[in-house]
Structure 1
């Protein structure tokens, strides 16, 4: 931070020196070539005086504008104040330069300086023009820097908002069946203690996975599928043979990364709003493959697509929003009914 501020100050003084040094050099060049009666000492002294005075009064103008006027709020009142300050600085610099030029001329040339009113007016106009262009340059550079700063802050805000949105969405995707699973496991303990302990382990792994999903944006397919299998096993405690599950996963793709709890949410939706509503139960099929440099994920379940159920809508909206935040328009998600099945499809670009 300090280095950046020092660098900006250095640039300000470098530009000041260049901005006023060039007119000073032009004065020196002109008088060397067209005013042969003047001594070299006086010409160099006058050029140095003009350069120094320019730096002094433009810096004063900068301080007055920066400290006394809120530049961000542009209004007629602000513009009038800037113009008044500008005119005051121009007049002050003209008087200052004329006074010192007179003293330099008398002491170096050893004679009175003969100046007319037109000379004073012309000098005032020259100083006003140079300071006007200085003012335009200052506001231009200031606007560019402020725009760049705003752009950076906007990107940082967008990134922070995106991260916050993702964490909020992931925080909403918690398994809805935890309470029922605990009750089912409690009943199972009377029949099969070993099976109950195994299910408690799976439930704890699923809960830990759900809590940790807020800390990362992506996990491997292998990790996600392991949690899906745990979820299926827990669901079978209640649904038993009514739930049948199949997987078709392309070989060699388990290390591909996807958003956490993405497939789990689709499978949960398929079971809760599909298979569990069927008297004879049904089948949930998970199909994952790569195609055209995209990861294709499909979850099929027997049943019908019903628009009722706010929890379903919220869950599916979360999936769609998470994909949009992570991949933008390059991702794809749909849920539709095909024949006697409901199919959820997700497409994720592999080059992201």
Structure 2
């Protein structure tokens, strides 16, 4: 912020000096060229030019401070327009009056005689100064307005990025708390039957917890890493479902290092168990398929069961997946859920980056 302010200040003074300097040089040169030296001494025009550039830079700098004080760029309303119009009139009259008075006394000092300005010369001077100040205001307001638009655009993009990151961090890496409680209760019961297996299940549960917490730091992980978490989830689910849950994989091995959003496969498996297999009296089978087609990774989970109208509470995981895919890939990724021959198929297609 401080660097930006410093650059803006440097740019303002550069434009001030260059702009008023150009007008001064043009004015002095034209008068020296058009007015004979025997009539008006050249050094008079230099003095007049010095007064002109000093007033131009000084008064418009004060005008700039006033525009900043009333915050005209951000608050362009009827009241502020009236204030700027009055400031424009005051600066124009001050500029014209001081310039005419300074030119009069400079001419008197250099030539030892007064220079009686005609009414036309005075009027044209006032009009010229008013035009200069008017265009100075237009130029300044135009630049500051463009700068404000650019800043607003940058701020909006930053806000959108921060919001997107916040949404992703909220959505990804979340384990269902009911699954956690059920797993802990199942492991507690398992300890009475098989301590070694219970210890192994605790290790798998802790790995899933650590994985879930660490996922806030990344947007994509290798499929192989996600498959490890899926295996842990299946193992923990089997404590309760036992032989009622049959799990199979059909993984194209050369795709295991392709990166995908974390937790999406785990959420598909969770949905298939919770709303498919666990609702079947005799259980069922879940098949995880990972393949590719036309530069897209296809992640598919099939489960025994039918596609029913879900309540709001049961669609949290699926909506989570849809929202994350939308935030990460826009319209380039798809998520479909359909029923085919007594099986529910959940399919995600992700472009290969």
TM-score between both structures, scaled by the size of structure 1: 0.96
Query: Are 1:103 and 2:100 an aligned pair?
Result: no
Q: What corresponds to 2:20 in structure 1? A: 20
Q: What corresponds to 1:9 in structure 2? A: 9
Q: What corresponds to 2:44 in structure 1? A: 42
Q: Secondary structure at the match of 1:252?
A: helix
Query: Are 1:327 and 2:329 an aligned pair?
Result: yes
How far apart, CA to CA, are the structure 1 residues paired with 2:48 and 2:257?
75
Q: What corresponds to 2:270 in structure 1? A: 268
How far apart, CA to CA, are the structure 2 residues paired with 1:124 and 1:27?
15
Query: Are 1:238 and 2:244 an aligned pair?
Result: no
Once the two structures are TM-superposed, the CA of residue 143 in structure 1 deviates from its matched residue by 0.4
Q: What corresponds to 2:294 in structure 1? A: 292
C-alpha spacing 1:192/1:239, structure 2 compared with 1 (3 Å) = same
Once the two structures are TM-superposed, the CA of residue 7 in structure 1 deviates from its matched residue by 1.7
Runs (5+) with no aligned partner, structure 2: none
Identify which range, 204-213 or 271-280, moves more after superposition.
204-213
How far apart, CA to CA, are the structure 2 residues paired with 1:233 and 1:61?
75
Q: Root-mean-square deviation (CA), in Å?
A: 1.4
Q: Secondary structure at the match of 1:285?
A: strand
Q: What corresponds to 2:180 in structure 1? A: 178
Once the two structures are TM-superposed, the CA of residue 178 in structure 1 deviates from its matched residue by 1.6
8 Å contact 2:70–2:80 — kept in the other structure? no
Q: How does 1:107-256 map to 2 (within 5 A)?
A: 107-170=109-172, 172-174=174-176, 176-256=178-258
How far apart, CA to CA, are the structure 1 residues paired with 2:208 and 2:70?
61
Q: Secondary structure at the match of 2:246?
A: strand
Q: Secondary structure at the match of 1:299?
A: strand
Once the two structures are TM-superposed, the CA of residue 140 in structure 1 deviates from its matched residue by 0.4
Query: Are 1:32 and 2:32 an aligned pair?
Result: yes
Once the two structures are TM-superposed, the CA of residue 31 in structure 1 deviates from its matched residue by 0.9
1:74 to 56, 73, 76: 76
How far apart, CA to CA, are the structure 1 residues paired with 2:34 and 2:245?
102
Q: Secondary structure at the match of 2:301?
A: strand
Q: What corresponds to 1:346 in structure 2? A: 348
The CA deviation string for residues 133-173 of structure 1, in whole angstroms up to 9 with x for no partner, is 10000010000000011011001111111111112223654
How far apart, CA to CA, are the structure 2 residues paired with 1:70 and 1:7?
21
Once the two structures are TM-superposed, the CA of residue 81 in structure 1 deviates from its matched residue by 1.1
Query: Are 1:283 and 2:285 an aligned pair?
Result: yes
TM-score between both structures, scaled by the size of structure 2: 0.96
8 Å contact 2:296–2:350 — kept in the other structure? yes
8 Å contact 1:220–1:254 — kept in the other structure? yes
Q: Secondary structure at the match of 1:337?
A: strand
Q: What corresponds to 1:303 in structure 2? A: 305
8 Å contact 1:173–1:315 — kept in the other structure? no
How far apart, CA to CA, are the structure 2 residues paired with 1:170 and 1:251?
25
Identify which range, 168-177 or 86-95, moves more after superposition.
168-177
How far apart, CA to CA, are the structure 2 residues paired with 1:29 and 1:237?
96
C-alpha spacing 1:207/1:213, structure 2 compared with 1 (3 Å) = same
Q: Secondary structure at the match of 1:306?
A: coil
How far apart, CA to CA, are the structure 2 residues paired with 1:43 and 1:308?
88
The CA deviation string for residues 84-113 of structure 1, in whole angstroms up to 9 with x for no partner, is 110010001111111111121111222211
Once the two structures are TM-superposed, the CA of residue 175 in structure 1 deviates from its matched residue by 5.2
